[in-house]
């Protein structure tokens, strides 16, 4: 499995980009290929997810790890395949998506391509509370915001992976804002607070 591919962006089409790395051109399906236009013939780092089928090995690419995480959460929902998830990511409103899921806004979710009422309900059921905070589309805000507390971010991600809900973790995050500890200490302290 691949985490990212770093190489020269050598081609842009309507459906995918080609990144040349180590003398091999990788076809990478992306939400909006033309968002890479300003990086043509330059070295890029594309976060990827590989999907293996009987008839193809496909790579799906993202500007940031946050965007990739949204995609991975979407494809975990029954009825949402990689192309549908990519179309949802392409809308470029991940904050709206997360809010709709957390508030059970089925009508909003049904605006995405190939998402009917049953799939929208399944999205709410499977994904409500899975996001600690809304990831920014294409990593735009992630690049613009000042350096935060990476140790606290890492701790919150680890707690989320353990199955704690984002709503519980928002209070914990607020409690620790402005402090300076290791991720391990944040996790230990958070677990004690969550178990009270």
Q: What is the DSSP letter of 36?
A: G
Start-to-end C-alpha separation, the chain: 39
pLDDT, position 173? 86
What SS3 class is residue 115? coil
* Tokens found for residue 186: 């944040």
Could you tell me the domains of the chain?
A: 4-62 (2.40.50.140), 65-138 (1.10.150.20), 146-194 (no CATH)
**Residue range 99-143, pLDDT digits in tens:** 899 899 999 999 888 899 999 999 999 998 777 554 444 444 333
Distance, CA of 34 to CA of 18 (rounded, Å)? 12
Q: What are the angstrom distances between the C-alpha of 148 and each of 82, 111, 145?
A: 31, 34, 8
Distance, CA of 169 to CA of 191 (rounded, Å)? 10
- Our measurement of the distance from residue 131's CA atom to the centroid of its chain's CA atoms, rounded to an integer in Å, reads 9
Q: What are the angstrom distances between the C-alpha of 128 and each of 23, 33, 53, 67, 152?
A: 43, 29, 29, 17, 22
**Residue range 133-181, pLDDT digits in tens:** 544 444 443 333 334 688 888 888 877 777 777 777 888 888 898 888 8
| pTM greater than 0.85 (yes/no) | no
């Amino acid at each position: 499995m691949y985490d990212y591919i770093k190489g020269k962006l050598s081609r842009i089409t309507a459906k995918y980009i080609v990144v040349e790395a180590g003398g091999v051109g990788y076809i990478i399906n992306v939400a909006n290929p033309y968002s890479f236009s300003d990086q043509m013939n330059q070295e890029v780092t594309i976060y990827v997810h590989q999907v293996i089928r009987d008839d193809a090995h496909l790579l799906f690419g993202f500007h940031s790890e946050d965007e990739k995480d949204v995609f991975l959460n979407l494809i975990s929902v029954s009825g949402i395949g990689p192309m549908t998830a990519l179309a949802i990511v392409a809308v470029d409103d991940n904050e709206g998506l997360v809010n709709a899921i957390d508030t059970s806004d089925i009508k909003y979710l049904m605006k995405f391509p190939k998402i009917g009422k049953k799939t929208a309900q399944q999205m709410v059921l499977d994904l409500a509370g899975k996001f600690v905070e809304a990831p920014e589309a294409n990593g735009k805000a992630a690049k613009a915001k000042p350096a935060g507390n990476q140790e606290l971010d890492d701790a919150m991600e680890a707690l989320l992976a353990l199955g704690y809900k984002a709503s519980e973790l928002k209070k914990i995050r607020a409690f620790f804002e402005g402090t300076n500890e290791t991720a391990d200490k944040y996790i230990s302290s958070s677990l004690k607070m969550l178990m009270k």
